[in-house]
Structure 1
């Protein structure tokens, strides 16, 4: 009987603990969710001090919930025993030294980042991409050394640790070989420098302006306003067209002229019209070539150069050149023909054709009176028509 009552009491206590745990977890979750909604609704209206107090409140509520759960499940003796086994008193110095080392590493990377930034401003050979990659490489190196120092403070068997890290590195490398390939390709792009931030490029089927180059991917903004992220390993393995590198770009518009027009005269008129556009460079000067015989016109190609090429500048210049050529052709009486077709008949063996004699006979037959076409009228013996 006593054993049964004790079992019932244990079950009741366990149920109470589960209910308290659920209540604490749900309460902390609802408080954090409510605070998050409040911040979102008051975004920009809350001061820095208010945000700090709210964060402190959330941290306090979470810590209180943890302490309640520890007391509810009776975990205090177990935690005390674990802390005694760690010998925290002997590790305090190592913990403080580790914090100092990591803080010094953070300060050193920030200091070196500022130096790299100042040096890059004075050197045209170091662009934004190279500066970013160099800063990240310095950060990785400093944090790696700092991590090894911190590990050395807490363990004496770094060799075994390195062996385990080596196996872990192999596993991670096999699982993330594509990401690692993109990282290596990022370093290759840093040294080869096929493009920089702000360049107008064509990478495979993507065309736009480079907005950012990271160690993993390259980001471009298309002319439709879309942002495209391309992994660096794809970039390094794809033909790249940089239309900004030389500082100038040649473009072309086509115009058709009538076959009755002298093509050399029309070409000279088109060239003079292109030279009047402000955005067209004088050197190299515009050039007009005879491209092909089209169905309804002789097609001329008007080629010209623009400086500081961008898609917007190219479109505006093409529009201005087309308007100038059209006005010049109208002034000089040069016709730009519409698409047209010419139909011609020919004699075919084994067929038939209409001649003038046959046509006249058919016309006479159409004009004969009805009586002639009907023939003579016969009469019956009774005097009536039959």
Structure 2
């Protein structure tokens, strides 16, 4: 269609009447022909525009891939250098981290420039140069890159300290590293904001009010978070310790920002909020890596107490898993109703609930066997029944059921009642017999 339009346009050109040939054109028409051909090319614009757009997008995509690959390459090279040479100095580590930060910043700016279709980024740079803000932009980029380099460097230092120390746990190392990153990035952002505005105080006041609102709305959550930080740094217990928190007892499996998890000895997982853990009493039975256990046993009052204590101590000393030092001992604790009570005390290493029950069972069995072998009696409550002797003032009270029934039957006969059963008859016979015996005595 463009070619047809061009031909029609040529056919409509004015012809010089003095020309010899029918195809002779005037100078005006000769000059206009290239413009018409160009116009014909523009008429094919939709197809050409799509082709140009696709070509431009492909170029930008390839450029983006190259930029991202370059940044990742720098990061991989620095990580490889750190792993390859573990004896890097602090300056070398800082330079490697700075190179990663600079590469990341340059890559981000390059991606923005590549995909800036409207040219707004270049216009912003030109406007910044005109208004003397270009230096602030450069400083902001340098600050953010420096913040990244510092956090990466400090993270490596924290990891080295944690690897060489038995005090910091892996979880505490992670918390310290994240807090360091948050602090450095917050300071860098405040400085960057201060470069482009003069009302930093207003921003801080607004942030303060926002913090108050958030704190009032989520005070329980924030309380648990703060208690979590306190637990992590005060370290009243650690993962793997055998603890008792309030009414719960078990082994610590996890300490997070929000809660602490225990595995009870019944296999249950107990999750406790950190503020409840911090506000209550905590008993750590694994803190000193040893635990004293006491077993009570009673002996007869007729027993030689020193001999009994020696037998108990010797019996405990032969039990497996009981520490030799401090030595087991037996102390007298109190006088019970039927026994003198000893407290047999011993220590175990690397305490756990399973080891506690195992040693306690073995110790009680050893004590019982040793006391029996030495003829020492372990008293237990007993009841002894005995009948009272007949007195001159009243009838004899028999402890047997038959005797009590006979006595009740005799009382009923004296009141004029009828006998209830044969036992009462037997009672009457007994009364008659006693009466006859009395008459014989009178004669």
| TM-score relative to the length of structure 2 | 0.52
Map of 1:142 onto structure 2? 184
- Say if 1:129 and 1:197, in contact at 8 Å, map to a contact too: no
Are residues 1:248 and 2:270 paired?
A: no
Distance 1:201 1:164 in 2: 44
| Larger radius of gyration between Structure 1 and Structure 2 | 2
Distance 2:124 2:207 in 1: 24
1:329 pairs, out of 358, 371, 385, with 371
Distance 1:318 1:158 in 2: 67
Paired residues for 1:216-235 under 5 Å? 216-235=258-277
CA gap of 1:204–1:244, structure 2 versus 1, over 3 A, is same
Paired residues for 1:1-386 under 5 Å? 109=151, 112-128=154-170, 130-145=172-187, 147-148=189-190, 158-343=200-385, 352-354=394-396, 365-366=429-430
Map of 1:62 onto structure 2? none
Tell me by how many angstroms 1:224 deviates: 1.9
Tell me by how many angstroms 1:128 deviates: 4.2
Tell me by how many angstroms 1:316 deviates: 1.4
The CA deviation string for residues 121-180 of structure 1, in whole angstroms up to 9 with x for no partner, is: 223443445434322321321342355467679977654443332221111011112222
CA gap of 1:265–1:154, structure 2 versus 1, over 3 A, is same
Map of 1:21 onto structure 2? none
Map of 2:65 onto structure 1? none
Distance 2:181 2:261 in 1: 22
Distance 2:388 2:150 in 1: 91
CA RMSD of aligned residues (A): 4.3
SS at match of 2:157: helix
CA gap of 1:139–1:209, structure 2 versus 1, over 3 A, is farther
SS at match of 1:181: helix
- Say if 1:128 and 1:197, in contact at 8 Å, map to a contact too: no
- Say if 2:387 and 2:397, in contact at 8 Å, map to a contact too: no
User: Which sections of structure 1, spanning at least 5 residues, go unmatched?
Assistant: 1-82, 373-386
The alignment covers a number of residue pairs equal to: 284
Distance 1:355 1:170 in 2: 86
| TM-score relative to the length of structure 1 | 0.59
